[in-house]
Amino acid sequence: MFHKTSLRLTGLYLTIIMVISVCFSVTVYHLSTEELNHGFSRQQQLIDHLPSYGLGGNIRNQLMNQHERDVDEANNRIITRLVITNLLILMIGGILSYYLARSSLKPIEDAHEAQSRFTADASHELRTPLAAMQTEIEVALMKPRLKLSEAKEQLKSNLDEIGKLNQLTDRLLRLARLDHNGLNKEKIEIQKIINLAMTRLLPTAEVKHILIEAQNIQPLRVVGDETSLIELLMIILDNAIKYSPPKSQIELTVKKQLQHAVITINDHGIGIKDVDQGHIFDRFYRADSARNKNHLAGYGLGLAMAKSIVDHHAGQITVNSVFGQGSVFTVRLPLAT
Ligand code: ATP
Ligand code: MG
């Protein structure tokens, strides 16, 4: 589809270039022939006066013919040069137009490809729980006598799948909203968003007896959307808890570095392989180690969301991890002035 559009755009650019070039050539041709004819008529007048200087009519005719031939030759040379110039413009213009068309369509093509991949991944993730529910219900319906306990078990399982679907659609919606809507930004104390995020994740951490230790929290302020920034910290902390062994520790620090607030979250969990580190911020990406480890649930959308939030705040998010030892996620946000 994009190849055809590139060709069409190339044709359009080239038509514009050639129309300008041909108009310019026609003007140049007219001006040149006008100038030549003007010179020719002046010389003709001179030749007309030749007999009075003692020259015969024969020589005068020869001079006239020679001059007419010179003018015709000059005209032909102009036409040939203009045709060659236009052919060169057609060739160079064609190459440049194609290059221009490709480079202007490339970002649109990339965005379109990312969108298609995203839709395919989202549909796949939505289909999995739906297919599981369908099979379970069909098997239950095939039983001639379904016990009440079995029916309850069935409903409980369906409810779990519906919960997962809700979680996924909720994440997808929030990602789409972040892409399209602006954020309500105000000056926020980092300490406040850290406290709120930690309070919300405390029950999850307690289940695994994980201690989240907030150390060296400098009192800094950033300009941002409170709800999104809390969500950002919750995503990173949730991962730190999810991918850490029970009874481990997570350290959180906040420091000032030039004009930025630097938040680091350090866990001692499964870590991330080097090959995965470049992809974990992509939508729906999950490292195999995360998928295999006790079948940890997730969609691979958390960090994509975190990245989108950080981008909306003109910040940066990076990871530094050693597989099998732990990970450090660092978020840099511009300080409020
Ligand atoms: P969810 O959409 O529920 O958040 P997820 O946790 O798998 O699912 P992300 O939060 O986007 O998705 O993380 C992407 C992947 O990055 C994870 O699947 C995991 O492989 C890896 N990852 C992220 N944080 C950590 C961490 N602290 N330790 C080890 N691996 C991590
Ligand atoms: Mg996650």
Q: Ligand 1: which of 118, 166, 243 to mutate, judged by most atoms within 8 Å of the beta carbon?
A: 243
Instruction: Give the residue among 335, 282, 337 at the shortest CA–CA distance from 306.
Output: 282
240 lines ligand 1 (CB under 6 A): yes
Please give the single-letter amino acid code of residue 146.
L
Q: Quote the pLDDT of residue 67.
A: 79
Q: Is the CB of 129 under 6 A from ligand 1?
A: no
Measured in Å, residue 169 CA sits from the centre of ligand 2 at 15
Ligand (nearest to CA of 324): 1
Q: What pLDDT, on the 0 to 100 scale, is given for residue 293? A: 56
| Interatomic CA distance for residues 47 and 56, integer angstroms | 11
Enclosing H/E stretch for 266? strand 260-267
How far, in Å, from the CA of 300 to the mean position of ligand 1?
A: 6
**First vs last Cα of the chain: how many Å apart?**
48
The set of residues, in sequence order, having a beta carbon less than 8 Å from that of 218 and lying 6+ positions away, is 254, 255, 256, 261
Q: Is the shortest distance between the CB of 301 and ligand 1 below 6 Å?
A: yes
Query: What pLDDT, on a 0 to 100 scale, did the predictor assign at position 62?
Result: 80
**Which stretches of the chain score pLDDT less than 50?**
none
Ligand 2 centre distance from Cα of residue 306 (Å) = 9
What's the predicted TM-score (pTM) here? 0.74
93 lines ligand 1 (CB under 6 A): no
65-80: pLDDT as tens digits: 887 888 889 889 999 9
In angstroms, the CA 144 to CA 138 distance is: 12
Question: So what's the pLDDT on residue 180?
Answer: 74
- Between the CA of residue 232 and those of 70, 309, 333, what are the distances in Å? 82, 7, 12
Question: Residue 290 Cα, ligand 1 centroid: separation in angstroms?
Answer: 7
- Which residue among 294, 303, 310, 330 is best mutated to probe the pocket of ligand 1, counting the most ligand atoms within 8 A of its Cβ? 303
| Model pLDDT, residue 38 | 85
For residue 228, the model assigns a pLDDT of 93
What is the model's pLDDT at position 270? 94
Cα–Cα distance for residue pair 146/227, rounded to 1 Å: 46
What's the DSSP call for residue 51?
G
Q: How far is the CA of 238 from the centre of ligand 2 (A)?
A: 6
